[in-house]
Amino acid sequence: MNIPAVRDASKATGTLKQYAAEVERFETFVQYACARNLRRMVGEAAAANYITRDGDACPPTGKEIGPAVVDFPRLYSAPPRRCDELVHAFMADRSDGWTCSESKMKKIVASISRKFHDAGSKGPWNGVMGNPVESPEVKEVRSNHVERRRRAATAVKGVDPIRYKDLDRYYETNFAGKPLQQWNPERVMLYSSVLVGMNLCVRFNELGRLRTDTMEIEDDRVRLILVGTKAEKGATVRFNVVRWPGTLSGDLRVCPIFFLRVWLSIRGLHDGYLFPAYRTNEVSVAGKVVGARLQFDYC
C-alpha cells in the first residue's frame, strides 16, 4: 500500500490506524472549547472562516464550553496563515512534559502531514501556501524535542536507549543498601537480563531463548549457546558474558557476570530457559508473567 509523504509505513495497516488516531486527536484539539486553540493560534478573523458552528457558550454548571464544528476539509486544503503555529501547539500539547518518544513524535508529524498532503497542501510552508507541517518552526520544535528529552534523560517504555545513568538510578532505587536476601527476584531478573542482553548485543527474542542446559560458568566469563539467530538460522552461536572494559570492569553495579550469578542463585541451575518469565506461557519466580517485552522501568 502506498502512503504518500510517509517514510515509516512498512506495516501499512497498523500505521494507518495510528495515523487516524493522531488526526482525530488533532481535530479534537482544534475544536476544543469553541475552537479556542484555533482562534488563539490563527486569530479570530481567520478562524471565523473555518468555524461552521460555535460551541455551547452556556454549558451546564461545572462543564467546559462545548466544542465548535470546524470545516476540516477546508482547513486541510487551504490552511490559514500561522497554521504552522497551530500544529506546533498541538505537538506541544501531545508531548506535555516531554514524555512523548522521538518515534511517537515522528508518527504524530507524519499523520498530520499526510492529511494536509492528501488535501492538496503540498510542499514546504511559506507562510501562505504549502504544507504547514513542513515549516521551519515545526522542524525546529522536533529538534528541540529530541534535545530536551536527551538533556532531561526522559524514559519511555519500549523506545528509549538505556544509558549508564538509567542503570545507576535503577540500581540505587532497587538494590543499593539492601542485603542480597531482600532483593526483589523480579527486579534482579529484569536487571540481569538487561545487562546480559547489552553485553551480548542480542535481540529480545534471542535473549528469551538462552538456556542453562549448555551454560558454562567460569571465573571471568559465562559461556552460553544459542541455536538459530536472525542472521544465522539453524546455526549454533556461542556467546561469552564478560566484564565491561575499562573503568567499568570493577563496577559491580553494572557487572553482567555478578548480576547473572545473583539471578542464578535465585533461579537455580536446573535446565531450562535462563529467563523463563520472558517465555509466552511461563511465569516468573514471583508468580507473575512479566510480559512480551523488556520494560526497564518495570516496578
d(Cα 226, Cα 238) in Å, to the nearest integer?
Answer: 6
Residues with Cβ within 8 Å of residue 135, at least 6 apart in sequence: 84, 87, 124, 125
**Beta strands 216-217 and 236-242, pairing class:** unpaired
- Give how far the C-alpha of residue 198 lies from the chain's centroid of Cα atoms, to the nearest Å: 18
Most distant CA atoms of the chain, gap in Å: 76
pLDDT tens per residue across span 170-213:
888 889 888 988 999 888 998 999 999 888 888 877 888 888 88
d(Cα 113, Cα 101) in Å, to the nearest integer?
Answer: 18
pLDDT tens per residue across span 12-32:
677 788 888 889 889 988 988
What's the pLDDT score for residue 168?
A: 82
pLDDT tens per residue across span 79-127:
999 999 999 888 877 766 555 677 778 888 889 999 999 999 999 999 8
pLDDT over 70 at 1, yes or no = no
**Domains, the chain, with CATH or none:** 12-152 (no CATH), 164-278 (1.10.443.10)
d(Cα 232, Cα 214) in Å, to the nearest integer?
Answer: 19
| Sequence letter at residue 217 | I
What's the pLDDT score for residue 4?
A: 47
